[in-house]
Amino acid sequence: MSPKQSSPAPRSPQLLADPYFPNHGDARFHVHRYELALDYRPAPNRLTGSARLTCLNGAAPLAEAVLDFADFRITKILVDGRAARWTHRAGKLRLRPARPLAAGAAFTIEVGYGGNPRPVRSEWGTLGWEELEDGSLVASQPIGAPSWYPCNDRPADKAAYQVSVTAPSPYTVVANGRLLTRTVRAGATTWVYEQPAPTPSYLATVQVGHYQQLLLAAGAVPQTVYAPARLTSACVTDFARQPRMMELFTELFGPYPFGEYAVVVTDEELDVPVEAQGLSTFGANHVDGHRGSERLVAHELAHQWFGNSVTVADWRHIWLNEGFAKYAEWLWSERSGGRSAAQHAAHAHAGLSALPQDLVLANPGRSLMFDDRLYQRGGLVMHALRGVLGDPSFFALLREWATLHRHGTVTTADFTTLAQRHSSHPLHTFFTAWLYATALPPLGG
């Protein structure tokens, strides 16, 4: 068997470090809850913050806890309410309590900090806290979260969040979860949001801008769009069918996994929209008043099930996020009067057939993890599997996958194992060809 082809392997215990980002995250402890209190001044791009992390130690005593954190000035460090020794360099905040933390012990970390937030530079551009012409946005996938708060930056470490942001009163602040309070005092407004659902650090976000609020749907899952005044009319058209998407995806994938869904449209152009927990961010270039980016509206909404609620254990498995969301685009098209999923699949297959065959979907490598071929081939896997299983078993599989792993973490092996339970025929050869070999299989094979 060639080096670029391998067979599916049983799931093994998760590695201490993400193989794509071995310098991010500390698997020796878990953060249960983040409480962030931020004060942001857009004009000087000045961020002052305090972070309280409620944590649980792992199976061994811990002499040093390590957080990922950018180059801010540190004003306070406490572990369990007591001063601790610390060092802060090369994006790592190392905390050494007076005594090692006992195995299985709960503990708290408090960090005070301030400075000018800057995004993390990466091979995919800048990530994290981004200063806009008038405001800011946060889009952290995959390693941008440390640009604005100290965190255990690994997708498998999911936590609840409370985020309080104080900004000048003309600005609107949008963050993950439900708005608890909004308090105006002396020309500044403090916005407090609560996201109780387990959230990976890369999906935490804060958006600051001059936005108007549009309510798309009320009821059990409120759906809201925040957009600049000049774009609100176009947004009414471009997001008009999102409530119908929510109904369809709830039918196909199971109940929506969070309490609300918000969309923020920035007043600047973005290369692509970006998902966050219970929230997605679009650029002004994605709004045209003619539903020209509706497939992206479906894609980002689908991520709330696939990627946000059901989260990859590490970045090798990113096709589980992007392939599922890509196929959701095709399902929406099929159900809303557009091209069928089969037509989309045939078009994607023809396009991929003309491109280099060097992508292993289940482990693409860091350099290819956001390659468009991964998205397209991931969608093709889902369509081919639908053909093998038939619609009743295929959609039962999707619902069980989203329900069984709700608010959890998963691997490719988890999915292939569950899929086999929905098939009367062995799927080993099918998954080997689609997920672990580089050559693109025939669509009907």
**Per-residue pLDDT, 12:** 35
- The answer to whether residue 268 is domain-embedded is yes
CATH of residue 101: 2.60.40.1730
Per-residue confidence (pLDDT) for residue 17, from 0 to 100: 79
Classify residue 395: in a domain, yes or no: yes
Same domain, 39 and 180: yes
Q: Do 141 and 82 share a structural domain?
A: yes
Residue 5 lies in a domain: no
Is residue 227 a part of any domain in this protein?
yes
Say yes or no: 318 and 263 in one domain.
no
Domain boundary among 304, 322, 348: 304
Whether residue 257 sits in one domain with residue 373:
no
Domain stop point among 158, 184, 207 = 207
**Same domain for 323 and 428:** yes
Q: What is the reported pLDDT for 444?
A: 79
pLDDT digits (tens, 9 = 90+) for 16-71: 679 999 999 999 999 999 999 999 999 999 999 999 999 999 999 999 999 999 99
Report the domain count for the chain: 3
Give the 3-state DSSP-derived string for the chain, with helices as H, strands as E and coil as C.
CCCCCCCCCCCCCCCCCCCCCCCCCCCCEEEEEEEEEEEEECCCCEEEEEEEEEEEECCCCECCEEEECCCCEEEEEEECCEECEEEEECCEEEEECCCCECCCCEEEEEEEEEECCCCEEECCEEEEEEEECCEEEEECCCCCHHHCCCECCCCCCCEEEEEEEEEECCCEEEECCEEEEEEEECCEEEEEEEEEEEECHHHCCEEEECCEEEEEECCCCCEEEEECHHHHHHHHHHCCCHHHHHHHHHHHHCCCCCCCEEEEECCCCCCCCEEECCEEEECHHHCCCCCCCHHHHHHHHHCCCECCCEEECCHHHCHHHHHHHHHHHHHHHHHCCCCCHHHHHHHHHHHHHCCCCCCCCCCCCHHHCCCHHHHHHHHHHHHHHHHHHCHHHHHHHHHHHHHHCCCCEECHHHHHHHHHHCCCCCCHHHHHHHHHCCCCCCCCC
The reply to whether 67 falls in a domain is yes
**224 found inside a domain:** yes
pLDDT of residue 277: 98
- CATH classification at residue 269: 3.30.2010.30
113 and 46 in one domain? yes
215 & 176 share domain: no
Same domain as 136, residue 35: yes
In a domain, 4, yes or no: no
Structural domain of 414: 314-436
Encode pLDDT of 275-285 as tens digits.
999 999 999 99
Which pLDDT score, from 0 to 100, does residue 141 have? 98
How confident is the model at residue 416, as a pLDDT?
Answer: 98
Task: Name the domain boundary from 207, 224, 257.
Answer: 207
Q: Does residue 382 share a domain with residue 258?
A: no
pLDDT per residue, tens digit, the chain (445 aa), is 333 333 333 333 344 679 999 999 999 999 999 999 999 999 999 999 999 999 999 999 999 999 999 999 999 999 999 999 999 999 999 999 999 999 999 999 999 999 999 999 999 999 999 999 999 999 999 999 999 999 999 999 999 999 999 999 999 999 999 999 999 999 999 999 999 999 999 999 999 999 999 999 999 999 999 999 999 999 999 999 999 999 999 999 999 999 999 999 999 999 999 999 999 999 999 999 999 999 999 999 999 999 999 999 999 999 999 999 999 999 999 999 999 999 999 999 999 999 999 999 999 999 999 999 999 999 999 999 999 999 999 999 999 999 999 999 999 999 999 999 999 999 999 999 999 999 999 997 5
Asked, for residue 3, whether it belongs to a domain, the answer is no
Q: Are residues 71 and 201 in the same domain?
A: yes
26 and 174 in a single domain? The answer is: yes
Judgement on whether residues 131 and 51 belong to the same structural domain of the protein? yes
